[in-house]
Structure 1
Amino acid sequence: MTFIPYLYFDGSSEAAMDFYAETFDADEVVKMRFKEAPPDIGMEQSDKIMYSHIKKGDWLLMSNDMAEGMPYQPQAGVSVAHHAKSVEEAKACYDKLCDGGMVIMPFEKQFFSAGFGMCKDKFGTHWMIMVADETS
């Protein structure tokens, strides 16, 4: 069993997922727009993202823009956790995510990790970036 984070945006899904793909060096980026849905099913026919995912190795991050008329609530009360393989990789990801966003907890060594930090990026997504192996 696995859990896959699914993020909702209010028109910024494409920009956010492109940013995350670059930040995490994604192997795969998939985007499907509302206008690609069959017109006879009654969905809006816009350029907004109906479904998107990025993939890196065996992990996946998914998202979409809220459909027309659906209420949007900014992300709160949850963070996406990312375990990097090294302090350098973790710090680089953390720094990119903080650019234009907000530091919640500076990236530094913790008793449970060689590097850990928390932030909210410019798209409103909360992140916990850490080193997977304490010995890194």
Structure 2
Amino acid sequence: MQINPYLFYDGNCEAAFTYYEKALGGKIELMLRNEEAPPEMPSPPERKKKIMHARISIDGQVLMASDAPPEHFHKPQGFSVSLTVGDPAEAERKFNALCEGGSINMPLGKTFFSKGFGMVIDQFGIPWMVNCPLDQYSH
């Protein structure tokens, strides 16, 4: 069995995944647009270029997402995508990249459980936690 986060964006899924590919070292594996669906699954003209399903791999972990139809989009809340990074310098680099155009909820800093932990909402509205755990908390 596999468990993966599935994120819903407010029309900016492609921009988000393109950014994550660059900033987090990910690899977009799939970017399926509404216009690529079979004829029996029509979409309004303004949604043709929107993303029906996307998949990105980041260090062997998979995030999936799509652009939610406007009437179904809700601002993300009640969760964070957790990014665990072994090297403190790399954790700081990734945290800073996620902060670009976003807002910091908790600056990256040392904690009793971590060499560096911080929380941010990225420029696409997705909440993230970046953690560089101490060895005894890395499992």
Please, what TM-score do these two structures have when normalized by structure 2?
Answer: 0.88
Q: How does 1:78-117 map to 2 (within 5 A)?
A: 78-117=79-118
Give how far 1:43 is off: 3.9
Give how far 1:128 is off: 0.4
Structure 1 residue runs of 5 or longer lacking an equivalent are: none
Give how far 1:77 is off: 1.2
Q: Does 2:77 align with 1:76?
A: yes
Equivalent residue of 1:39, what SS?
coil
Q: What CA distance in whole angstroms lies between the structure 2 residues aligned with 1:105 and 1:65?
A: 27
Q: Which runs of 4+ in 1 moved over 3 A?
A: 42-45, 132-136
Q: Percent identity?
A: 35
The count of residues paired between Structure 1 and Structure 2 equals 135
Structure 2 residue runs of 5 or longer lacking an equivalent are: none
Q: What CA distance in whole angstroms lies between the structure 1 residues aligned with 2:107 and 2:85?
A: 16
Give how far 1:132 is off: 4.0
Give how far 1:39 is off: 1.3
Counterpart AA for 2:135: E
**Kept in 1: contact 2:113–2:134 (CA 8 A):** no
Please, what TM-score do these two structures have when normalized by structure 1?
Answer: 0.90
